[in-house]
């Protein structure tokens, strides 16, 4: 502006029209214009020096104020007032750097880091109490009866709060210059901890199934599915004692299947919300745009919880609901006995499969259908091989003859059809899950020599992975 004023004065000395100029006056006018321009430049330089000195004093005062604020760690957090302070100081820093041509107020970035750290520390303490309160208030009832895939209110409450926390953090982190990677990671750790602890606590609230003959036989069998890890959750370092989160129920009163499905859906919802929060942070903060995944620990914990809950549901169906029928009635004393065929199991199983299809989240449904089919096929194999029921104290025993083979084949076909009728499991996958039972049935009924049947069953069991889809 000062330079422009000097040029304006010079132009006025030169005159506004050629008619006013005379050959004699032009050199004098030109010299006068140069003199005024030089005077204007000197004035501008003097005033710029004065402004620079004033800004240096202002910077010194700001640095003292920032250092004093940093000493009072109680005020170092993120709220509306601190956000406006950081925003204003950042704007002042940019303006002063343009004039002074050097780095100004370096303590501002340190103060922002301390604010982010103090806020994250408070958030961590807050989530400890908030999550405990959310889970204590949870009654494991569907949030809405009209929802196709029921969810618990706790997962909605948790991620609604986390979403609001992200909305507070993003503007603070976006103030120029961008927040450091260390501060961003500290915030991500808070989100990860909250999501992981939720899934871990939900998993720990699932009570183990009561002991049963079928479960013992499955655990003892070399090719049986490993027992559900729910019973061993006390080995996990859970920050919340399971007894403080859910009322302890007698082990002979297992939780209903609907509650287990609700917990699975809630952990699946948590997994999807972790990805949603990650995408939101990438969209809002350029420094996170190329980072994937943002919260790998939370993603792994959510998936682990979903996997363990699915196995828990599978065991609940096969061992809890069908176990007594398999151990005491199926093919006892022979496959031709009235009420000893597969239809007895299917009358109990079909409503459970329909419940899974109706309520389980779509991404989890296929594994949650192939799992019970595979475990049920292995339980039938234990019956056919005489490893369950033959030594029961109440005298349950079974014998098989060649003429029984047709009835067993019909039962396996009916089992296959029941799972395919759900519409979520294709025929090839269902046949692979029960293929090895045919060899055990041949052995039990004396259709093939024992050593050939054992070899065929072992080959089918070890080369067919029903979960490979």
Question: What pLDDT score does 311 carry?
Answer: 93
Q: Are 362 and 423 in contact (CB under 8 A)?
A: no
Burial of residue 366 (CB within 10 Å: 0-12, 13-18, 19+) is middle
Q: What is the pLDDT of residue 74?
A: 53
- Give the closest residue to 212 by CA, choosing from 54, 98, 379, 89: 379
Is there a domain that residue 72 lies in?
Answer: yes
Percent pLDDT > 70 in the chain is 74
Q: Which two tokens stand for residue 351?
A: 């409503």
The closest of 41, 27, 3, 187 to 112, measured between CA atoms, is 187
The total number of structural domains in the chain stands at 1
Residue whose token pair is 């958030």: 123
DSSP 206: S
The predicted structure's pLDDT at residue 443: 92
- Write out the two tokens for 241: 């004692």
**Residue 227 gets which letter from DSSP?**
P
Angle made by CA atoms 263, 264, 269, in degrees to the nearest 5: 95
Please give the mean pLDDT across all residues of the chain: 78
Tokens for 110, please give them. 């340190």
Could you write out the DSSP letters of every residue in 123-192? HHHHHHHHHHHHHHH-----S-TT-SS---HHHHHHHHHHHHHHHHHHHHHHSSSPPPHHHHHHHHHHHH
pTM of the model: 0.74
Tokens of 104: 């100004």
Confidence grade of residue 249 (pLDDT, cut at 50, 70, 90): very low
Q: Does residue 61 form part of some domain? A: yes
Q: Are 306 and 268 in contact (CB under 8 A)?
A: yes
* Cβ proximity of 309 and 260 under 8 Å: yes
Distance (Å, whole) CA 233 – CA 256: 19
Q: Taking residues 173-194, what's their average pLDDT?
A: 88
pLDDT level of residue 86 (50, 70, 90 thresholds): confident
pLDDT tens for 353-382 read 999 999 998 889 999 999 999 999 999 999
DSSP 234: G
Q: Which domain holds residue 64?
A: 46-108
Residue 63 in any domain: the answer is yes
Instruction: Give me the mean pLDDT over the 444-464 stretch.
Output: 54
Residue 313 inside a domain? The answer is no
Residue 79 placed within a domain: yes
DSSP conformation class of 317:
I
- Within-domain flag for 101: yes
Q: Among candidates 289, 299, 280, which has minimal Cα distance to 181?
A: 289
Say if CB 347 and CB 330 are below 8 A apart: no
Contact 10, 34 (CB under 8 A): yes
Residues 6+ away with beta carbon under 8 Å from 33:
9, 10, 11, 13, 14
Q: Which residues make Cβ contacts (< 8 Å) with residue 191, sequence separation at least 6?
A: 162, 165, 166, 274, 277, 295, 298
State how far the Cα of 438 lies from the Cα of 432, in Å rounded to an integer. Answer: 11
Higher pLDDT, 19 or 259: 259
Of 40-54, 240-254, 285-299, 439-453, minimum mean pLDDT range: 240-254
- Convert 299-351 into a string of H (helix), E (strand) and C (coil): HHHHHHHHHHHHHHHHHHHHHHHCHHHHHHCCCCCCCCCCCCCHHHHHHHHHH
As a whole number of angstroms, the distance between CA 213 and CA 221 comes to: 12
Quote the pLDDT of residue 261: 94
Does the pLDDT value for residue 395 go beyond 70? no
Domain contains 65: yes
Cβ neighbourhood burial of 172 (10 Å; 0-12, 13-18, 19+): buried
The distance in angstroms from the start CA to the end CA of the chain is 73
Q: Is residue 67 part of a domain?
A: yes
Residue 102 has pLDDT above 50, yes or no: yes
pLDDT digits (tens, 9 = 90+) for 318-336: 999 999 999 999 999 999 9
């Amino acid at each position: 502006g000062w330079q422009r004023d000097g040029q304006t004065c010079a132009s006025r000395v030169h005159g506004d029209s050629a008619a006013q100029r005379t050959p004699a006056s032009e050199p004098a006018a030109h010299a006068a214009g140069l003199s005024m321009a030089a005077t204007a430049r000197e004035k501008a330089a003097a005033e710029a020096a004065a402004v620079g000195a004033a800004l240096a004093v202002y910077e010194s005062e700001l640095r003292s104020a920032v250092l004093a604020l940093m000493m009072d760690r109680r005020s170092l957090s993120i709220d509306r007032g601190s956000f406006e302070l950081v925003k204003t100081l950042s704007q002042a820093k940019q303006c002063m750097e343009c004039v002074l041509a050097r780095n100004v107020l370096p303590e501002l970035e340190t103060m922002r880091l301390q604010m982010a750290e103090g806020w994250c520390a408070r958030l961590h303490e807050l989530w400890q109490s908030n999550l405990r309160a959310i889970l204590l208030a949870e009654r494991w009832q569907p949030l809405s009866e009209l929802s196709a895939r029921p969810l618990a209110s706790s997962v909605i409450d948790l991620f609604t709060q986390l979403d609001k926390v992200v909305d507070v953090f993003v503007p603070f982190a976006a103030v120029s210059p961008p927040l450091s990677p260390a501060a961003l990671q500290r915030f991500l750790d808070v989100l990860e901890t909250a999501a992981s602890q939720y899934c871990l606590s939900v998993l720990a609230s699932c009570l183990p199934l009561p002991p049963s003959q079928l479960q013992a036989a499955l655990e003892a069998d070399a090719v049986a599915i490993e027992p559900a890890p729910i019973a061993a959750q006390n080995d996990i370092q859970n920050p919340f004692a399971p007894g403080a989160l859910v009322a302890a129920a007698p082990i002979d009163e297992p939780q209903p299947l609907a509650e287990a499905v609700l917990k699975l859906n809630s952990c699946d919802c948590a997994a999807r919300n972790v990805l949603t929060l990650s995408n939101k942070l990438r969209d809002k903060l350029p420094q996170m745009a190329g980072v994937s995944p943002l919260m790998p620990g939370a993603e792994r914990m959510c998936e682990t919880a979903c996997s363990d809950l699915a196995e828990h549901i599978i065991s609940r169906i096969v061992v809890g609901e069908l176990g007594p029928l398999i151990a005491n009635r199926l093919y006892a004393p022979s496959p031709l006995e009235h009420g000893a065929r597969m239809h007895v199991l299917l009358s109990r199983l079909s409503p459970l499969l329909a419940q899974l299809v109706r309520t389980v989240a779509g991404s989890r449904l296929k594994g949650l259908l192939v799992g019970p089919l595979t475990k049920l096929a292995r339980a039938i194999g234990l019956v056919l091989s005489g490893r369950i029921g033959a030594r029961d104290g109440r005298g349950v025993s079974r014998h098989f003859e060649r003429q029984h083979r047709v009835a067993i084949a019909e039962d396996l076909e009916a089992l296959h059809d029941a799972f395919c009728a759900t519409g979520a499991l294709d025929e090839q996958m269902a046949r692979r899950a029960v293929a090895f039972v045919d060899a055990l049935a041949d052995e039990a009924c004396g259709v093939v020599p024992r050593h050939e049947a054992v070899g065929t069953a072992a080959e089918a069991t070890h080369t067919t992975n029903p979960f490979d889809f």
